[in-house]
Structure 1
């Protein structure tokens, strides 16, 4: 049996800021990971494509406040940075 992917360890290389900010990014990244895994069965960020992130931002956050969308956008940008991708996301 394989271990579940540790998103906190994955993001640790790019996380900066206060403890609360780092925890928020980790919490949101876990939610993003769970939603993408549920929809496309892609468990790790290494298997994700830009379309997966776009889908999450556009469809899963549609009814959320602008502030919530913005904070998730920051987390998605951190994930893209960690993946060393040049993806551009807009809300």
Structure 2
């Protein structure tokens, strides 16, 4: 049996800000991970491609408010920084 991916540990090096901000980023990262895993069976961020994250931002957040999409974009930028990718994603 494999151990579940630990998003807290994955983002630990790039998280900054208040405790509430860090918890928001972790919560949103887990939601992103769950949606991508359900749609494409990519369990860890290391297996993600730019199209997976772009799909999440466009299709899963399409009906949410602009503020919600902005906060998710900030979380995606943290994930991108942690993955050391040069992805450019827009709302």
TM-score, normalised to structure 2's length?
Answer: 0.99
Alignment gaps of 5+ in structure 2: none
Does 2:6 correspond to 1:28? no
Whole-angstrom distance in 2 between the partners of 1:70 and 1:8: 21
Cα deviations across residues 45-65 of structure 1 (Å, max 9, x unaligned)?
A: 000000000000000000100
Task: Provide the residue aligned with 1:48 in structure 2.
Answer: 48
Task: Provide the residue aligned with 2:72 in structure 1.
Answer: 72
Whole-angstrom distance in 2 between the partners of 1:89 and 1:51: 10
1:3-14 alignment to 2 at 5 Å? 3-14=3-14
